A = this chain, B = another copy of it.
Amino acid sequence: MSAVLPRSDDRSNERAEEKLAIVTGGRFAGVGAKVAHGVIRYGDRDVAAVVDEAFAGKTASEVVPFCARPVPIVATVSEAAAMGATRLLVGVAPAGGRLDIRLRGVVLEAVRHGLHVEAGLHSLLTDDAELAAAACRQGVELHDLRAVPKDLDVPRGGRWRASDVDVVHTVGTDCNLGKLTVSLELHRAAQARGHASVFVPTGQTGVAVAGWGIAVDHVVADYIAGAGERLVAEGATRGDLLWLEGQGSLFHPAYSGVTLGLLHGVVPDVMVLVHRAALTSTRNYPDVPLPSLAEVVTSYERAAAFIKPARVAAVAVDTSAMGETAARDALEEIARASGRPADDVVRFGADRILDAVMSEL
């Protein structure tokens, strides 16, 4: 049994044939199921079924319109297996990052049905002796999304010299305000235009959505940039326009180190600033005010330029808390303050920001 899905191209055929069952333990309708919702809305991964007895008989998009795919919801793993599922994904983030008894029972049942299992828990599946033994007997894989490669190192360098790929990096004014969503919406819009576009995941939810990647906030501090470089290298085997999900914020008292290390590891060609309308301070540290948007843009451009210059092409804004008129006013004001085009890619579409990005490449 291997703890980590090998990150190389030679398994893409196998991955292409894989069908997911996503288990949400009665919580499919809630925000806690954001891994499930993200995978269904954005995933290139084939989803055979959601396993959630509370909503069995409906479809995913009937219960959560954001999902946008009529994936059937069934009550049991054996039904999902009968529908072709080959891998179970734990689609909720349980409190404390641990499997509760009910979800753990579903995971064990999946293993006994010969399904691989994938989860982004704090407590690793592979550390659960009973699960590990069962997986070993069945010859299935337990894949912990938070586990990081054991052979990480510092960057070899070279991204700043020449490159066959274009790297677009989403950076933010805070953590947890939509860098993943913006990266995925821009990636989908680029695919629709025919680009060989790749979403490159750098956090556990992104890894669940895409089925590969590294949760860079969990690597040893010395290897943040090395992990970023490795993700670009792997992205380059999958396409030539890479959307590198950012993490944290340069202005975040806890996570700025991850942000700068990742920025210097991925060495972007263009950045997209992700912002929430009306945000004026870091959410978890409200007494640390944000600089002006003009300063935010300049700070990211200066920081990138320590290694290689890159411009912030546009500002992607979450206006979901506002009515439409207020949202359009806010976007206009943000464009003025930042000196960059601003739009809400979920609400109004990704084309304007994608145009701004492409004009820099």
Contacts and interface: CB of A to CB of B under 8 A. Distances in A.
B253 A260 contact: no
Contacts of A155: 253-254
A348 interface: no
Given A256-B261, A258-B261, A217 B225 contact: no
Given A257-B261, A260-B257, A264-B257, A220 B222 contact: no
Nearest to A257: B261
A218 B225 contact: no
A268 to B, nearest CB: 13
A256 B259 CA distance: 10
B306 A256 contact: yes
A105 interface: no
A287 interface: yes
Contacts of A222: 217-218, 254-255, 258
A160 interface: yes
A213 interface: no
B258 A221 contact: yes
B221 A154 contact: no
Interface residues of A, number: 40
Contact of A220 (B154, B161, B218, B256): B218
A160 B253 CA distance: 10
A216 to B, nearest CB: 6
Interface in A143-179: 154-155, 157, 160-161
A38 interface: no
A253 B224 CA distance: 10
Contacts of A288: 157, 160, 306-307
A302 interface: yes
A221 B160 contact: no
Contacts of A201: none
25 contacts: A154-B253, A154-B254, A154-B255, A160-B287, A218-B221, A218-B222, A221-B224, A221-B257, A221-B261, A222-B254, A224-B257, A225-B253, A225-B254, A225-B256, A250-B303, A250-B306, A254-B264, A256-B260, A256-B261, A256-B306, A257-B258, A257-B261, A260-B261, A288-B307, A302-B302
Given A217-B220, A256-B260, 9 more contacts: A155-B254, A157-B253, A160-B287, A219-B220, A253-B307, A255-B261, A257-B258, A261-B261, A299-B306
